[in-house]
């Protein structure tokens, strides 16, 4: 059995069936994100793991112990919320010591643990400050230290970065991940931000409507989405309806334009299938190393600095294409005709 095992969890609030059937086996030391749109049940799953909600069905095991019926403080979990939720009338040090005091840890060990935790989050000198004297990012690090101080077996993070400024948010991603790895603590991280989930996690669970649509590594989720929902929710995707002309060779037409997908298709001749391309999979211009050349009309150019996003019309559909900025190559003109080169294997089947 895995270190943290969620087995067929369900949760209803009255008639509202919020978590339908949720299972995952999380290994010790693993960092798993729950990613999905607002309202899909992420927080509810996390709160069930923490013991703040009782499942309507299913069970939760932590380190071989069934904790389904236990209270939060009996589960050896630590939790961090979006809103920091620090005690405003306690100093940073007292906040971090809080869980230890409740657990009856003696003064000397408490002080040592607080010092260790403040050191871990890089705020060793700020123990005597009050929360209002700290920035949002510092407050969230204190919340993390408070959650970690009692040495929980599982760390639960509910959108801990969502309330922070963009720059801090990105730097805290790295910092949280580094601390998590250093402690080797099994972690569930809830977010609606796909970049956060992809960049921080060992595995990502993409959720919709109270279920896990797909569980996989960031690479798998991005490059081999299991459902149309996952494909559409994670990253930008150009989707086309393709008509199969020869399933054996993967030949299709896109709006009358013939192309080969270079793999056998599990569809009948004449059937319509969904195919898709990521914006970074295509090249502007004719690239001899790529099998497919699509005629395009440039409809918009967004210069973002490192990346230039070019929007075009391809086979009657909007097509977003990302190119890297180059000092000596100005972006193409809007309204111009262009060719877009794509490798046959770059198409994702939906």
- Binding positions for ligand ADP, rule: CB under 6 A: 13, 16, 18, 36, 38-44
Q: Residue 16 binds which entry of Mg ion, ligand ADP, none, with Cβ cut-offs from 5 to 8 Å by kind?
A: ligand ADP
| CB within 8 Å of 251: residues ≥ 6 apart | 244, 245, 258, 259, 260, 261
Nearer to Mg ion among residue 157 and residue 340 (C-beta): 157
Q: To the nearest whole angstrom, how small is the minimum distance from the Cβ of residue 159 to ligand ADP? A: 8
CA atoms of 81 and 84, how far apart (whole Å): 5
The CA-based angle 26-32-36, given to 5 degrees, is 125
Largest pairwise CA distance in the chain: 76
CA atoms of 48 and 60, how far apart (whole Å): 8
Of 43, 138, 139, 238, the one binding Mg ion by CB under 5 A: 43
Return left, alpha or beta for 177; rule: phi > 0 is left, psi -120 to 50 is alpha, else beta: alpha
Stretch touching Mg ion by CB under 5 A, among 37-45, 133-141, 296-304, 313-321: 37-45
Q: Residue 41 binds which entry of Mg ion, ligand ADP, none, with Cβ cut-offs from 5 to 8 Å by kind?
A: ligand ADP
Q: To the nearest whole angstrom, how small is the minimum distance from the Cβ of residue 153 to ligand ADP? A: 23
Q: Residue 44 binds which entry of ligand ADP, Mg ion, none, with Cβ cut-offs from 5 to 8 Å by kind?
A: ligand ADP
Nearer to ligand ADP among residue 43 and residue 238 (C-beta): 43
Nearer to ligand ADP among residue 117 and residue 204 (C-beta): 204
Stretch touching Mg ion by CB under 5 A, among 35-43, 99-107, 116-124, 167-175: 35-43
Contact 274, 241 (CB under 8 A): yes
Sheet holding 348-349, edge to edge: 257-260, 251-254, 238-246, 272-277, 348-349
Q: Residue 18 binds which entry of Mg ion, ligand ADP, none, with Cβ cut-offs from 5 to 8 Å by kind?
A: ligand ADP
Q: Nearest Cα to 348, choosing from 246, 250, 206?
A: 250
Q: Residue 160 binds which entry of Mg ion, ligand ADP, none, with Cβ cut-offs from 5 to 8 Å by kind?
A: none
Q: Which residues form the interface with Mg ion (CB under 5 A)? A: 43
């Amino acid at each position: 059995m895995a270190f943290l095992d969620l087995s067929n969890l369900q949760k209803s609030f009255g008639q509202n069936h919020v978590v339908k059937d949720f299972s995952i086996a999380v290994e010790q030391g693993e960092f798993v994100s729950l990613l999905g749109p607002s309202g899909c049940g992420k927080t509810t799953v996390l709160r069930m793991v923490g013991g703040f909600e009782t499942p309507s069905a299913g069970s939760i095991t932590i380190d071989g112990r069934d904790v389904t019926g236990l209270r939060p403080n009996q589960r050896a979990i630590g939790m961090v919320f979006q809103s920091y939720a620090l005690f405003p009338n306690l100093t940073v040090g007292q906040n971090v010591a809080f869980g230890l005091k409740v657990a009856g840890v003696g003064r000397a060990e408490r002080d040592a643990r607080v010092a260790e935790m403040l050191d871990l989050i890089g705020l060793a000198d700020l123990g005597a400050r009050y929360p209002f004297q700290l920035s949002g990012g510092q407050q969230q690090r204190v919340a993390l230290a408070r959650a970690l101080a009692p040495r929980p077996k599982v760390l639960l993070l509910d959108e801990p970065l969502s309330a922070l400024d963009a720059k801090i948010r990105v730097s805290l991603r790295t910092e949280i991940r580094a601390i998590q790895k250093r402690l080797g603590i099994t972690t569930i991280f809830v977010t609606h931000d796909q970049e956060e989930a992809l960049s921080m996690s060992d595995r990502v669970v993409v959720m919709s409507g109270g279920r896990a649509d797909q569980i996989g590594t960031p690479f798998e989720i991005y490059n081999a989405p299991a459902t149309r929902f996952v494909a559409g929710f994670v990253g930008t995707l150009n989707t086309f309806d393709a008509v199969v002309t020869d399933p054996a060779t993967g030949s299709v037409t896109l709006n009358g334009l013939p192309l080969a997908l270079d793999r056998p298709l599990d569809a009948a001749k004449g059937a319509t299938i969904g195919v898709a391309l990521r914006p970074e999979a295509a090249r502007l211009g004719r690239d001899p190393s790529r099998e497919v050349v699509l005629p395009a009309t440039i409809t918009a150019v967004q210069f973002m600095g490192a990346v230039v996003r070019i929007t075009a019309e391809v086979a009657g559909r909007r097509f977003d294409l990302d190119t890297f900025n180059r000092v000596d190559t100005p972006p193409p003109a809007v309204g111009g005709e262009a060719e877009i080169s794509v490798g046959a294997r770059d198409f994702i089947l939906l």
